[in-house]
Chains A and B, each alone.
Chain A
Amino acid sequence: MTTDSLSLENDKPNALRPVSGQTYAGLTVVALTLLTALFISRSNGEVAAIWVLANVFGLTLQRARFCFASAFRDLFLFGSGHNMKGIIVGMGIATIGFAAIMSWIIPNPGAGFLPAEAHILPVGLSVVVGGVMFGVGMVIAGGCVSGSLYRMSEGYIASWVAILGVIIGLGALTLTWNWWWGFTISTEPKVWFPSIGGLGYTGAIVITLLGLAAIYLLVTFMEFKNGLFTPHINKKVIPAMNFDDRVRSTLDPIFKRGWPVAIGGVVLGILGIVMYTIHMPLGVTGELMRASQLGLGWMGVDVPVLDGLSTLGGCTGRSGESGLLGHTFAITVGLLPGALIGALFAGEFKLRLPTHKRRYLQSIGGGVMMGYASGLAIGCTIGAFFSAVPSLSLSGWVFGLAMAAGAFAGTQVIKRIG
């Protein structure tokens, strides 16, 4: 604990903010990412569209400070449901949109077919082990896969280390996948609510929304028990003196101040629906899986043929399909400039080195756990949870519960690390 006195030079009221260098850098990144979209569109219009949507995805994650790790961890650590509520809102919105799309693809859900692109994943030991391991990993690393990706753009060096860990973990999973496939995954069922016992789409939507509402209530109750309430924070208000200030006071809520997390949830829910209408729901681990396999190849390790993976769908199931400028590249790499734009316009970009050396160990260790786990569970907090629950798949719920258990264990670990 260091509670020393700091003298701060810039204590004078910041009356007029000049347009910062970061704003100009942000405009440059906007131009560059649009040029990239234009370049991609010459060979593949769909991938170019996904690139732009990924930019918005990254911007939203950054602006709303959307953090799955914090959503699970802070419930146990502080009794705070701030982030979890935003996630629930987003999944509720996506559920309705996903159901509409799926009912168009598969009008009769009882006929035994599953909508191919939806994230309906096997339910069994693999999801439980993957979820627990992912929960521990994200709490130790201080961010999940999507969280670490957008923080790479904000200048967090530890997040680069965490993503390197994820890629290493996915490499380890690649080499052991066939064992897991034979041991359990090959016999795990895909449980899709609309196809069960005449539930149909209506019943499945009702069950999913009631489940989400119940968890929202539970989270609110946990906050109440902990004496937390929604804070009213004093921020210095600078009166708009001239036209320049008026323009700023319009733009600031979007580009300068963080968005309320529920707004982030709504935007992500809608983005998920739009993504699904174009191709498939949101997911970010596919490209990292591809990167890990490229890495294994460079090191001269034979990448085995992964049994059954391509029949599973989800994030990693698709990673083999696309070349350099494919779907998974666009969604994962595309979120980086989006988050960078958000950070630069807000003036929040800063190269941040961890104060303690042990944080690097936490990042790489937590990253490896998340990587292995996301391969095993065929997705991370985005693909196997945020996109799976709205796919009306039981797997999303099991993965979420397992992550909660893992996050609880993780909080015990980080309390001891200090």
Chain B
Amino acid sequence: MADEQIPTLDVRGEICPYPMLKTNEALDGDQKDVAIFDVITDHPPALSTVPPQAMKRGYEVEIDELGAGEWRMRLTKI
């Protein structure tokens, strides 16, 4: 699947708790039960706080470093 088709939430520039808050809002709202979902962040703590929230909603999380201080968390529905 090409990246363009994956719904993406860009929370760069946001600090705690907004990356998790907005990911949860998306997963509980307009992206509910989406098969695959990308979250882009530049806030390192989000890498340890978003995954438990995603897993609670039935997602696997894979983290990729995009560049200096930026990461993509790819959430895949199990």
Contacts and interface: CB of A to CB of B under 8 A. Distances in A.
A398 to B, nearest CB: 26
A349 B67 CA distance: 10
A235 B9 CA distance: 20
A232 to B, nearest CB: 8
B16 interface: yes
B15 A143 contact: yes
A82 interface: yes
A8 B44 contact: no
A229 to B, nearest CB: 7
B10 interface: yes
Contact of B26 (A1, A352, A355): A1
A193 B68 CA distance: 48
A39 interface: no
Contact of B62 (A7, A80, A236): A236
Contact of A8 (B3, B47, B68): B3
B47 A350 contact: no
A1 B38 CA distance: 14
Nearest to A236: B64
A336 to B, nearest CB: 17
Interface stretch (A70-78, A121-129, A316-324): A70-78
Interface range, A side: 35 or more
B22 A1 contact: yes
A65 B44 contact: yes
Interface string B1-35: 00111111110111111001110111001110000
Interface range, B side: 35 or more
B72 A70 contact: no
Interface in A205-245: 226-231, 233-236
Contact of A354 (B9, B14, B16, B53): B14
A5 B70 contact: no
Interface in B24-78: 24-26, 29-31, 38, 40, 42-45, 47-49, 51-53, 55-56, 60-70, 72
A359 B44 CA distance: 18
A348 B70 CA distance: 8
A69 B67 CA distance: 27
Contacts of B47: 258
A227 B56 contact: yes
Contacts of B42: 350, 352
B68 A350 contact: yes
A14 B72 CA distance: 13
A228 B10 contact: no
Contacts of B8: 3-6
Contact of A348 (B10, B44, B62): B44
A413 B21 CA distance: 13
A11 interface: yes
B23 to A, nearest CB: 10
B41 to A, nearest CB: 11
Contacts of B14: 354-355, 359
B15 A82 contact: no
9 contacts: A1-B26, A1-B30, A69-B16, A70-B45, A151-B15, A227-B56, A258-B44, A347-B65, A350-B68
